[in-house]
Amino acid sequence: MTLSKSPKSSPHLKVLIRRTAIQKRVRQVARQITKDFKGQRVHLVGVLKGACIFLSDLAREINLETSLDFIAVSSYGARKESSGQVRVNKDLDSSIAGLNVILVEDILDTGLTVSYLRRILLQRRPKTLKVAALLDKPSRRIIKEIQADYAGFSIPDKFVVGYGLDFAEKYRNLKDVCVLCDPEITATPSEPASKSSRSKL
Ligand code: IMP
């Protein structure tokens, strides 16, 4: 995977995955889900906010009865490194008992968030629980057994934004996934947690 020239909006952004490649891969993932759950209903649970754009594109490509819900967690505090602590800020609206749940994430990084969410969702007795993640940074994984059942792209250890992913609430609306190359941003931020928006809600 090579980086190409920056979007005009910022010299600090380099396109890593173009919108056309994302569309194509989302369609393939949706086709696989449609095949795997043939004749059944699936219940997509999006992890706010990062997964919202991936989820809305994915949902429209799945050719099955599909329902949606959202959960919001915070995990990062002020740093780009995970604190290892995950907290639910907004829970699901309805029960998932007996449903084919697909947890939809923007990116699997350390795996701490998905590991925590899997644990709490399994306690609610879904019929099945799978994980769909647009991006995967396997080299960063702390919880080694966490894998996406449906993975979009494996990427190197770079901080990425766009297509739902943010830094300080910026860049979520970019159509491409871009690497954020601002040297000031790659330094460990020193501001207090309350100012950070690396948390998910
Ligand atoms: P994990 O618990 O370390 O797997 O963290 C997953 C969450 O961290 C994702 O849902 C994102 O919100 C955030 N995250 C991890 N890497 C990136 C990145 O490169 N860009 C933006 N957000 C990221």
Query: Alpha helix (H) ranges present in the chain?
Result: 19-36, 52-61, 112-122, 183-186
Q: Is the CB of 200 under 6 A from ligand 1?
A: yes
Strands in the chain per DSSP E: 13-17, 41-48, 65-74, 87-90, 100-108, 128-136, 150-154, 160-161, 177-180
Neighbour count for residue 76 (Cβ, 10 Å): 22
CA of 59 to the centre of ligand 1 (A): 21
Taking the C-alpha atoms of residue 13 and residue 4, their distance in angstroms, rounded to an integer, is 10
The predicted-structure confidence for 29-81, as pLDDT tens digits, reads as follows: 999 999 999 999 999 999 999 999 999 999 999 999 999 999 999 875 545 55
CA of 105 to the centre of ligand 1 (A): 9
Taking the C-alpha atoms of residue 144 and residue 61, their distance in angstroms, rounded to an integer, is 30
Q: Is the CB of 112 under 6 A from ligand 1?
A: yes
CA of 16 to the centre of ligand 1 (A): 16
| Distance spanning both ends of the chain, measured CA to CA | 30
Percentage of the chain with pLDDT > 90?
A: 78
Catalytic residues: 109
The predicted-structure confidence for 116-148, as pLDDT tens digits, reads as follows: 999 999 999 999 999 999 999 999 999 999 999
| CA distances, 114 to each of 13, 91, 146, 199 (Å) | 27, 15, 7, 15
Amino acid letter at 197?
S
Q: Is the CB of 164 under 6 A from ligand 1?
A: no
Query: If you classify domain 19-155 with CATH, what class do you get?
Result: alpha beta
Band (184; pLDDT cuts 50, 70, 90)? low
pTM of the model: 0.88
